[in-house]
């Protein structure tokens, strides 16, 4: 074991070479294509969203080349990365193709990680989140088979998934055996957005990718997680570990309002075993929020949630957590970069998107050294994950 604390990146993506080749073979979204740039250079572009400007976004080796991932990690002092396939995963494929490709990509990711350099005698530099063929028409048997495959691959520690499930979202009762299997296998679910919200909300003025990425992505996560909570998944599977991308979007800000709306709705009021705020303590949140105040706030909300372990204990009980809630909450927050997305627009030594998130962790009021080790082994449940 290294003597210094480890910096573990839990939110970092790859388009594995097999997946990138598949996207290249396609003529409709999602796809990778080559074009001649306005400067006359041949360049690769990635088109993954239906309403994305037809030019898509630039894509290069940092999306699929392991050496590039390791160079990025070295540049930013990241010891270990838990790599996940980037959106839109297998969502757009027919069931049989999705099932076959999931199996192949999980094996590819295992090799990608298992043959990465060693950090110590027991740790590799790379671990991964696998994929399930979550598409309409897939059988539960196929999903369970893939959960079993992932649980047998030693360098895969969880599963990245979007918000659609098998077509009806994550609160679909058909998924219950899948949550059970994931929970029993001790795998972490990394819940990540792709679709955003209805594009009509963005109006007619062009704002580039800003609105879908800054608001659409986190709102999608907020809605999906809220539906998951309302479906009672965390009551039925109390050991299920779900990590939310982008600090859970707006959910921490809205959790008391959610609790109040539930309390005033006769259809839902008796459905959950706990006050809605309690479920914040069942979730993990990445620290991809870019600001100290936001991280502090999210950790307060998670810390407060510990006091809501029963409907009966409510506001008065939350006082007992007192000033400790920020520290308690920080334990469920994990460092991430979102690499290779958000590269700097011009040549810089380090990526602004990464430096900002590290500085945000350093600047949280009330997080002392132990909590600021946020970025590292003690803080990071990622460490659990990579040993688990
Ligand atoms: N854009 C994406 O499409 N995915 C991410 O994870 C981040 C930005
Ligand atoms: Zn991401």
pLDDT tens-digit series, residues 17-41: 999 999 999 999 999 999 998 888 9
Does the pLDDT value for residue 147 go beyond 60? yes
CB 19 within 8 A of CB 85: yes
Q: Confidence band (pLDDT; 50, 70, 90) for 49?
A: confident
Question: How many angstroms separate the alpha carbon of residue 13 from the centre of ligand 2?
Answer: 7
Per-residue pLDDT at 162 exceeds 70: yes
Q: How far is the CA of 87 from the centre of ligand 1 (A)?
A: 7
Q: Give CA separation, 349 vs 226, 352, 375, in Å.
A: 39, 9, 20
Confidence of residue 52 (pLDDT cuts 50, 70, 90): confident
Q: Look at residue 387 and tell me whether its pLDDT is greater than 50.
A: no
Indicate the top mutation candidate among 338, 339, 351 to test ligand 1's pocket, ranked by most ligand atoms within 8 A of CB.
338
How many whole angstroms from 317 Cα to the centroid of ligand 2?
36
Choose between 303 and 3: higher pLDDT: 303
Task: Tell me what pLDDT residue 191 has.
Answer: 98
* Ligand 1 atom index nearest CA of 48: 3
5 has pLDDT over 90:
no
Ligand 1, atom 7, residue with closest C-alpha = 341
Share of the chain above pLDDT 70, in %: 90
Asked if residues 188 and 129 have their Cβ atoms less than 8 Å apart, the reply is yes
d(CA 75, CA 4): 17
C-alpha to C-alpha distance for 155 and 79, rounded to whole angstroms? 15
Nearest atom, ligand 1, residue 209 CA = 1
Nearest-atom index, ligand 1, CA of 245: 6
- pLDDT greater than 90 at residue 316: no
ipTM of this predicted complex?
0.96
DSSP string covering 296-365, please?
Answer: HHHHHHHHHHGGGSSGGGHHHHHHHHGGGHHHHHHTTEE----BTSS--SS--SS-HHHHHHHHHHHT-T
Q: Which of 31-40, 46-55, 263-272, 379-388 has the lowest mean pLDDT?
A: 379-388
pLDDT > 90 in the chain, percent: 77
Tell whether domain 8-15+61-387 is in CATH 3.40.50.300: no
Which amino acids bring their CB within 6 angstroms of ligand 1? 13, 48, 86-87, 213, 338, 341
What is the model's pLDDT at position 380?
44
| 84 Cα–ligand 2 center, Å | 9
Ligand 1 mutation pick, 12, 13, 163, max ligand atoms within 8 A of CB: 13
312 pLDDT above the threshold of 50: no
**191 alpha carbon – ligand 2 mean position (Å):** 10
């Amino acid at each position: 074991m290294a003597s210094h604390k480890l910096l573990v990146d839990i939110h970092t993506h790859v388009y594995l070479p097999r997946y990138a080749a598949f996207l290249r073979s396609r003529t409709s979204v999602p796809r990778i294509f080559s074009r001649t740039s306005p400067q006359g250079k041949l360049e690769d572009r990635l088109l993954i969203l239906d309403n994305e400007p037809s030019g898509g976004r630039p894509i290069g080796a940092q999306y699929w080349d392991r050496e590039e991932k390791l160079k990025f990690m070295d540049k930013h002092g990241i010891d270990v990365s838990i790599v996940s396939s980037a959106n839109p995963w297998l969502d757009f494929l027919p069931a049989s193709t999705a099932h076959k490709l999931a199996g192949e990509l999980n094996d590819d990711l295992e090799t990608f990680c298992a043959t990465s350099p060693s950090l110590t005698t027991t740790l590799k530099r790379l671990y991964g989140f696998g994929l399930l063929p979550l598409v309409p028409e897939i059988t539960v048997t196929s999903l369970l088979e893939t959960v079993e495959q992932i649980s047998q691959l030693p360098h895969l520690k969880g599963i990245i998934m979007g918000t659609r499930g098998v077509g009806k979202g994550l609160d679909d009762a058909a998924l219950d055996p899948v949550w059970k299997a994931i929970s029993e296998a001790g795998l972490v679910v990394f819940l990540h957005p792709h679709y955003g919200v209805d594009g009509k909300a963005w109006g007619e003025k062009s704002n580039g990718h800003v609105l879908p990425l800054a608001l659409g992505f986190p709102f999608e996560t907020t809605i999906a997680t809220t539906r998951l909570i309302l479906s009672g998944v965390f009551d039925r599977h109390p050991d299920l570990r779900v990590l939310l991308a982008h600090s859970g979007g707006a959910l921490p800000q809205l959790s008391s309002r959610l609790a109040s709306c539930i309390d005033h709705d006769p259809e839902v009021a008796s459905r959950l075993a706990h006050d809605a705020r309690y479920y914040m303590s069942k979730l993990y949140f990445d620290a991809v929020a870019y600001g100290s105040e936001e991280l502090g706030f999210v950790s307060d909300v998670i810390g407060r949630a510990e006091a809501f372990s029963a409907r009966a204990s409510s506001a008065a009980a939350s006082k007992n957590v007192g000033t400790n809630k920020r520290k308690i909450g920080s334990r469920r927050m994990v460092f991430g970069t979102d690499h290779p997305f958000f590269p700097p627009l011009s040549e810089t030594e380090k990526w602004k998107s990464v430096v900002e998130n590290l500085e945000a962790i350093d600047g949280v009021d009330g997080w002392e050294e132990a909590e600021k080790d946020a970025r590292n082994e003690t803080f990071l449940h990622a460490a659990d994950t990579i040993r688990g």
